Amino acid sequence: MTPPATSQDRPQQAPELHRRPRRRRRPTSASAGILLLRETASPGKARECVRAALADWLASDAETDTAVLIVSELVTNAVTHTDSTLIRVVATLLDDVVNLVVAAEQAHEGEIRADVAADGADHGRGLLIVETTADRWGVRPIKGVGCALAVWAECQLTAAPAGTTC
């Protein structure tokens, strides 16, 4: 019969290793997008897409809220002021700049500009909101697609942290 093992006979347990938490870094470039039908639910879907992208890109809550507000206004304008069946939304990150583009075919003729809404009007402030919240914004034609336009806005993110603990 074998005597019971003593603490000296048992193998030593390896010391517990302290692992540094994994760190995520903001990508230097990335993109996300969604193709939407021209319908009243589209601004909400665009907000979800942009919010998810900026979360992946480690943007702050305030930066995310700003980008979400901008894309919501731009998509609402596309739904309201175009005859397009489809609206394309693309968010691109390059270094610490987020570029938001909302493109629609069959845009109405005329200049797109931020105007002050008439007193008491329940609409007409979308581009004014974009102008005051975005670092830059503008309009460009989409070549080769007839009367298609893309409205874009840029937002500078704060410098990416060295790493964020997951």
Please list the pLDDT of the chain residue by residue as tens digits (166 residues): 666 666 566 666 666 666 666 667 899 999 999 999 999 999 999 999 999 999 999 999 999 999 999 999 999 999 988 888 999 999 999 999 999 999 988 656 656 655 555 556 555 568 899 999 999 999 888 876 666 889 999 999 987 555 544 3
Q: 36 - beta bridge partners?
A: 87
Rounded to an integer, what distance in angstroms lies between the CA atom of residue 122 and that of residue 124? 7
Q: Which domains does the chain have, with CATH numbers?
A: 25-110+123-160 (3.30.565.10)
